[in-house]
Structure 1
Amino acid sequence: MTFKAVLFDLDGTLLDTAGDMGAAANHVIASLGLPVLSDAILQCTTSDGSYALLKAGIHAELIEQHGLEQLRSQMLAFYGANLCHHTRPYDGVPALLNWLNLNHIPWGIVTNKPSALTLPLLAQLPLFSRCGVTVSSDTLAYKKPHPAPLLFAAEQLLVAPQHCVYIGDHKRDIAAGLAAGMTTVAATWGYISAGEDPNNWQAAYQIGTVFALADWLKDAFITQC
């Protein structure tokens, strides 16, 4: 397979956002007098999003009493005001993106994070200044695991889907990539949900660190030259 572009999931793949996402969830949870979520729970729940984080810390009766959407609105308001206090790129990400830039390899982000949170977050991190395309959960009518966001990203980069690699840490990432006809990589350094086994996702590859991903991509692109 000839690769011409690289697409990434964001949370749990390029960025460790669990600290800030967790702080927002715990802000709401603590306001109800409940014990906050542990770091271990945050690490295995963040990739499932705001609803999952809230449900991990608030029992069903309180959710029904206060309303899940209201609780989520409170969480996202706090998160939106505190997007990048603890968030950091995973080790190796800056060097990987720099290598892609230096070699003129187009790359982009396809995330299920809403654009109102995605774009301000990326704006605070200069390493994303040369991102070729950013597709958020509300960019289109569909979000992952539907393939439409990935197909749209490939179109924006002017690269056919079959020449794209998509890298993500959740089964919906791999499902979307497979449906889009892309080569898929399971990022097993990310937020693997409790009870999930990446061996069952049918990704073409599983890679355990960003450094190993960089080596694999370099080999793949250099072999084509």
Structure 2
Amino acid sequence: MNNKISGVLFDLDGTLLDTANDLGAALNYVLRKYNLAEVARETYRPIASDGALGLLTLGFADTLKAYDYEQLRAEFLAYYQENIAVHTCLYPGVAQLLLTLDEQNIPWGIVTNKPEGLTRQLLPHYAEFEKCLSLVGGDTFANRKPHPEPILKACEEISIPSEQCLYVGDALRDIAAGNSAKASTVVAKWGYILAGEDCKSWQADYHAETPLEVLSFIR
């Protein structure tokens, strides 16, 4: 094991779980309700980790300002809560990655901008998350990513100095937060990244094509 890395933190949507189809279904439910055109999977998938605001902005586009955003958000979240794990699944390799961390007694946790309540509702559907030692949501503390506070707090919870932590995420805000927290950072290139996005400009320490490749940055 790399002496520098003694714990791992992960983003959730687009990194551990492919939640895009359930989030997209919530968006299309709201769009249908207002007699607007639905959005195709290939269009909403890269926006999935931007949450309700990003998806509703995508779906309603320039007409969004004509609606009560809080009402739309409430309708989106209500549908999503009721259908939170219909199509969501672990990315290939994530189960083995987490099992290996558990077998090697490497503590790990999740730092996501998804609201904590929704995250705690979602994770029990997947037994692989049973040994998650820290869960920080987007509303757990005063700040959310790209601010470093969520990662720093999670490092405290898994009893690892941030300088010895690896943070894995699929968005610029993930890498910015990890870098600001002085963690080592990994771009999850299998996640929700727009085609043509220059991930190298994010200044991550590592880039991983698959979840299992993350292990090579530890051992």
SS in 2 for 1:59: helix
What does residue range 41-60 of structure 1 map to in structure 2 within 5 Å? 41-60=43-62
Considering only aligned residues, what root-mean-square deviation do their CA atoms show, in Å?
Answer: 1.2
- Describe the superposition over 1:110-155 as per-residue Cα deviations: whole angstroms up to 9, x where unpaired: 0000011000100121110110100001110000000000000000
Partner of 1:7: 9
Letter in 2 for 1:56: L
Partner of 2:34: 32
Partner of 1:122: 123
Partner of 1:19: 21
Partner of 1:143: 144
TM-score, length of structure 1 as denominator length = 0.93
Displacement after TM superposition at 1:195 (Å): 5.6
Displacement after TM superposition at 1:60 (Å): 2.5
Unaligned runs of 5+ in 2: none
- Describe the superposition over 1:82-114 as per-residue Cα deviations: whole angstroms up to 9, x where unpaired: 110000000001111111111111000000000
Work out the percentage of aligned pairs sharing the same amino acid. Answer: 45
Tell whether 2:204 aligns with 1:203. yes
* Cα pair 1:47 1:192 within 8 Å, conserved: no
In 2: Cα distance, 1:213 partner to 1:101 partner: 14
In 2: Cα distance, 1:195 partner to 1:33 partner: 32
* Cα pair 1:47 1:193 within 8 Å, conserved: no
Displacement after TM superposition at 1:64 (Å): 2.3
Letter in 1 for 2:198: D
Letter in 1 for 2:149: A
In 2: Cα distance, 1:132 partner to 1:24 partner: 29
Displacement after TM superposition at 1:196 (Å): 3.0
Partner of 1:108: 109
In 2: Cα distance, 1:51 partner to 1:97 partner: 30
Unaligned runs of 5+ in 1: none
SS in 1 for 2:48: helix
In 2: Cα distance, 1:22 partner to 1:163 partner: 36
- Describe the superposition over 1:153-209 as per-residue Cα deviations: whole angstroms up to 9, x where unpaired: 000111100000000000000000000000000011100135632111000111111
TM-score, length of structure 2 as denominator length = 0.95
* Cα pair 1:45 1:194 within 8 Å, conserved: no
